[in-house]
Homo-oligomer: A and B are copies of this chain.
Amino acid sequence: MAFELTVGDLDDLVRGAALLGTGGGGDPQIGRTLVAEALGETGTITVLDPDDLGPGDFVIPPALMGAPSVLVERLPRGSEPVDALRALESFAGRTATATMPIESGGINSTIPLFVAARTGMPVVDADGMGRAFPELQMETFAVYGVTGSPLAIADERGHTAIICTGGDNKKMETWARALTIRMGGVGYIAEYGMDGDTVRRTAIPRTLSLALLLGRTIRAARESHRDPVAALSEALASTLYERGEVIFTGKVVDVDRRTVDGFTRGTARIADFGAGSHCVIDFQNEYLIARVDGVTRVLVPDLITMLHLETGEPITAESLRFGQRVRVFAISTPAMMRTPEALAVFGPAAFGLAEGFVPFERLATRAGESHV
């Protein structure tokens, strides 16, 4: 069912989106600020349920592309994602009736909200990753047959490019990434334009309201002095994601982070409080694999999130720092993201990992115990 989003919802929404962003997606506060400014005190955004869409709808998802680490020093001017969406409309010869996130993650959950606030367009409660991923072909849209291009990309001067790579969504990613790098590390894109029936068939449904639910859950637990992770596990049980579980608790002892080819890559190491165990997490914008004492415990596309030990606040790979006390919280992905065709696009092998995907709940059973 459709609902109205207000400025009062934004803190919870970006907190939940940061959680689903699984370490990537950039500083959630940047997105929050953008949307709040566009909404003003009294504005609202209409959020449509995917079931509200029909074949006559044309949905264009906009997004920020680039290394989140660059964005911190390079705030958007404001109209970039609208410029990209308009350029795509003009090229496609078709006007968008709604917008939608391509992913759930700090800033890319908010870019469509910003476009909606600016244009009055509704936003669809769904996305193409059900979490965040670093590359544009890693979309359930692509997995289930949607062509990503034509893609429009805009810079902060309103200059644009259109990329047409037919069914080759990986090449679309490669070309757009090259332009993003030349734009100084950040570009704004619009891609995967599709009708309403296709949204219902290929998107992960209701992930904006999920982000809102998870963000509220963390806040409410904190306010009532409950354990946030227990509350999160409970909230997830009634969603497509089903399971959430702490796999490690400890202190960040090392973060190796660098910007390579337009991505933020690196490794984080967490030591537990005494037993001598270590959790090592590799990331490419997002957390990809978590190993405890050399044993794999969570693998992409399952979600690896890092929560501040006391507050339950999600911590992105960008803001991980030595000495932070954290819990590593794993979330299982929806079934449509664990099919063979989905794993071919965003499973471990797509990130150069040697291990075949095993759902984290089965890895937990193998490991025999969990480090709560």
Q: Which residues of A pack against B, CB within 8 Å?
A: 87, 91, 157-166, 168, 171, 174-175, 177-179, 181-182
Contact = CB atoms under 8 A, between A and B. Distances in A.
Number of copies: 2
A164 B160 contact: yes
Given A175-B179, A182-B178, A157 B161 contact: no
A177 B181 CA distance: 12
A171 B87 CA distance: 18
Q: Which of the listed residues A91, A168, A171, A179 has the most CB atoms from chain B within 10 Å of its own CB? A: A179
**A-B complex: 6 closest residue pairs judged by Cβ atoms:** A178-B178, A162-B162, A159-B165, A178-B182, A161-B163, A160-B164
A312 B164 CA distance: 45
Given A157-B166, A157-B168, 9 more contacts: A91-B91, A91-B162, A158-B166, A159-B165, A159-B166, A159-B168, A161-B163, A175-B182, A178-B179
Q: Which of the listed residues A157, A160, A161, A164 has the most CB atoms from chain B within 10 Å of its own CB? A: A161
Nearest to A183: B175
Contacts of A164: 87, 159-162
A188 to B, nearest CB: 14
B161 A161 contact: yes
A164 B87 CA distance: 10
